[in-house]
A and B are shown apart, each in its own frame.
Chain A
Amino acid sequence: MRVTRIQVGLLLLLLYAAVSDARWVYRAVRGVADAARDDPITTYERRFRELRHALPSRGVIGYTSGVQPEVFSSEDFRRFVLAEYSLAPLLVLNDTAPELVVGNFAPDSVPGRPPPGFQLVRDFGRGIWLLRRAQ
């Protein structure tokens, strides 16, 4: 049997699709497995649930994670962005100028006391603090 160029081309396209199909089946199965557990962002957002009730419904608040914004790693930035995502419509500034400041610390780097010039309003646990500028 003679195989033509056209058949080779079509075979290549069909093989490409078959390989992708195998990947799609894997992703679908993984999705079914993931359905049983919360994704990392939903889990992360849960940390802010109680804090949201303690904050005003609108306005601008500050943010500190103990790391200076200039030296933020990708993970530090991700945590900051997710804080805004969780606390919207409040506008979260990445500095401590506003009167109310959210402290969002990694569980293993929670400071022993509030930063100078701030008083702790409440510790919500899991590295979440609400701070107020000291009078």
Chain B
Amino acid sequence: MSFPLVLSAVVAGLIGFSLLRGAWPNSVAYGPYRLVVAALGVGIGLGMTSLGLFAWLLLAGTASRGLIGAELGLLGLLSIWLLQRRSRRGYGEGLGPTARTPQEVWTWSVTVTFAVTVCCAVAAFIGLSISQPHGGWDAWMNWNLRARLIFRSGPEWRDAFSALLPWSHPDYPLLVQTSVVRTWVYHGRETLAGPAILAFLFTFATAALATSAVAALRGRTQGMLAGLVLLATPFFIFHGASEYGDVPVGFFFLSTVVLLALHDRHREHTSVFAGFAGLTAGLAAWTKNEGLLFLIALVCAWAATGLQAGARRELGREARSVALGLLPLLLVIGLFKLHFAPPNDLMAAAEAGKTLDWVSDPRRYALVAQAFTTQITSFGFNGLISAVWLLITYGICVGVRPEQVRNRWLFTIVASVGLMLAGHVVVFVATAEDVARLLNSSLERLLLQLWPTVVFAWFMVLATPEEAAQRDAERRPAIAS
């Protein structure tokens, strides 16, 4: 690991952190969210610097080292902005002290297991990156290949999106590919450590965000349990190390959901979190085409829940904030899709007039339904139990916290995830020539994209061990009497 590579990660992280910290509203205490901001800062920083590299390609004509100076200049400006706002002090609504558990031994066990799992997951990630330094199949067929094409083509970088290589998905959005190129610009030449460090940052920033956000909003033990499940999910670490785009897009799904939860909690004081949710939803769309589906599902679900709650005026205010973060990203994505990317291969197949035959074939629906059922129920199997059954069983054991179930953001997320799964079903049924092969190669990855969001939402809704124990203790005398 060279110093320039570390610098590329640090600069990206600091840019993201400075943006969030600088925009942090006075009315919301910063302290409880310190780790949330750090984890969000890593992903947002990588997203912003990816956009910066794309802009640099357009303006300078090649991925040159001048980019580093521009990024350091931007970081300097952000630092000045932060210093100017340093005198601010959030009075903070406070999140309330985390209830001390009467079962200290369990808290201690969770803390130790969490720490051990973090260490083991990091070691496994490094081991996997050493075993397959080029990443998995899609990494060298698509993500890292595209990065090579951009980096090696110099001023002719537009050739990287040639329709002559349709199997390499040249229409995919560019966050991962340009981020890999960016690490090589810092390093001065190609290195396999570039995509590996990027994959590491997204994987562990996702785990850190899920852990810290649940910890800040529901308590420390609950946060560690969420992080524990995520880091112990085999496919999360395996696939994270494969250098695909699924874990990064999952990070931005989770970021958007966390920011919506923050918005829900602090909406009376600020709409900054809604703006950042727009930004991260846009970055999801800049990462993978599934991000566009997420964006549509989220907007529909958010509007529907807002209208149902009869909050039209508030919805308008939120829409303006979300648009502020989202619109610049949509412009960039539109520019890329209209001027650089060839048509999507699935869409191209759909245009061939086969769609009508496919959507009227009941066998395709049966195949898709069977694959979804199997994959969902076995997702995260580690030799003991699937992670889905684990969460359901654990949920039955501790029960839900009724106040959490009534939150608007939760309705939005449940509806969004439902719409996304429905969207995936439509794509499989209506656009895939060989639906069995596509299901086999992509369904588990699509579920992985949503997994951090599901884990976060689940632990937000469930009672904490402390709350469940207290509820049990209160019930016992009632039953005894």
A residues apposed to B, CB below 8 Å: 4-10, 12-21, 23-25, 27-32, 34-35, 39, 41-42, 58, 60, 77-78, 81-82, 84-85, 88-89, 91, 93
Contact: A6 with B469, CB < 8 Å?
yes
**Does more than half of chain B's interface fall in helix, strand or loop, or is it mixed?**
helix
B124 is contacted by which of A10, A27, A35 (Cβ under 8 Å)?
A27
Contact: B110 with A14, CB < 8 Å?
yes
Contact: B382 with A20, CB < 8 Å?
yes
Binary contact track B392-423/A, C-beta < 8 Å → 1, others 0? 01101110000000000000000000000000
A31 is contacted by which of B109, B129, B168 (Cβ under 8 Å)?
B129
Contact: A29 with B127, CB < 8 Å?
yes
**Shortest distance from the beta carbon of B13 to any chain A beta carbon, whole Å:** 25
A17 is contacted by which of B117, B128, B153, B167 (Cβ under 8 Å)?
B117
Contact: B232 with A35, CB < 8 Å?
no
B234 is contacted by which of A6, A23, A42, A58 (Cβ under 8 Å)?
A23
- Chain B: interface residue total (CB-CB under 8 A): 61
B393 is contacted by which of A6, A9, A19, A32 (Cβ under 8 Å)?
A9
Contact: B124 with A12, CB < 8 Å?
no
Instruction: Say yes or no: is B225 at the interface (Cβ < 8 Å to chain A).
Output: yes
Contact: B468 with A19, CB < 8 Å?
no
**Does more than half of chain A's interface fall in helix, strand or loop, or is it mixed?**
helix
A sample of 9 more A-B contacts (CB under 8 A), given A14-B110, A25-B120, A29-B127, is: A5-B468, A8-B397, A9-B398, A12-B393, A23-B382, A30-B127, A58-B153, A58-B159, A89-B152
Contact: B148 with A88, CB < 8 Å?
yes
Contact: B117 with A39, CB < 8 Å?
no
Contact: A9 with B131, CB < 8 Å?
no
Given contacts A6-B398, A16-B387, contact A81 B141 (CB under 8 A): yes
Instruction: Say yes or no: is B346 at the interface (Cβ < 8 Å to chain A).
Output: no
A91 is contacted by which of B144, B165, B233, B397 (Cβ under 8 Å)?
B165
Given contacts A19-B382, A89-B149, contact A82 B398 (CB under 8 A): no
Q: Among the interface residues A6, A15, A28, A58, which one has the most CB atoms of the partner chain B within 10 A?
A: A6
Instruction: Say yes or no: is B116 at the interface (Cβ < 8 Å to chain A).
Output: yes
With a CB–CB cut-off of 8 A, which chain B residues contact A17? 113-114, 116-117, 228-229, 231-232
